[in-house]
Amino acid sequence: MTQNQAVKEYIVKHGSITAKQALSLGIHRLAARIKDLKDMGEPIYSEMITVKSRYGKARVARYYLR
């Protein structure tokens, strides 16, 4: 299974993915994998969400399939 396939499968199964969740799959460059999937025609979009971090709050991208 490729990283692109793993990302798509995770999104289908869980509804969305963030960089932190991608790290649990061993994927360190989620944005690059998302670009690959978009270039292959996958209808993926993102939204910025606020999460708690060790420094307070941080904004991260959450990716969805349309």
Per-residue pLDDT of 9-53, as tens digits, reads 999 999 999 999 999 999 999 999 999 999 999 999 999 999 999
Q: Does residue 55 surpass a pLDDT of 90?
A: yes
Cα–Cα distance, 59 to 36 (Å, whole number)? 23
Instruction: Check if the beta carbon of residue 65 is closer than 8 Å to that of residue 43.
Output: yes
Provide the number of structural domains found in the chain.
1
1-36 burial code (b ≥16 CB/10 A, e <16): eebbebbbebbeeeebbeeebbeebebeebeebbeb
**Domain of residue 36, residue span:** 3-65
**Residue 53: what pLDDT?**
92
Of the pLDDT bands very low, low, confident and very high (cuts 50, 70, 90), residue 66 is confident
Whole-structure pTM over 0.85, yes or no?
A: yes
Cα–Cα distance, 59 to 61 (Å, whole number)? 7
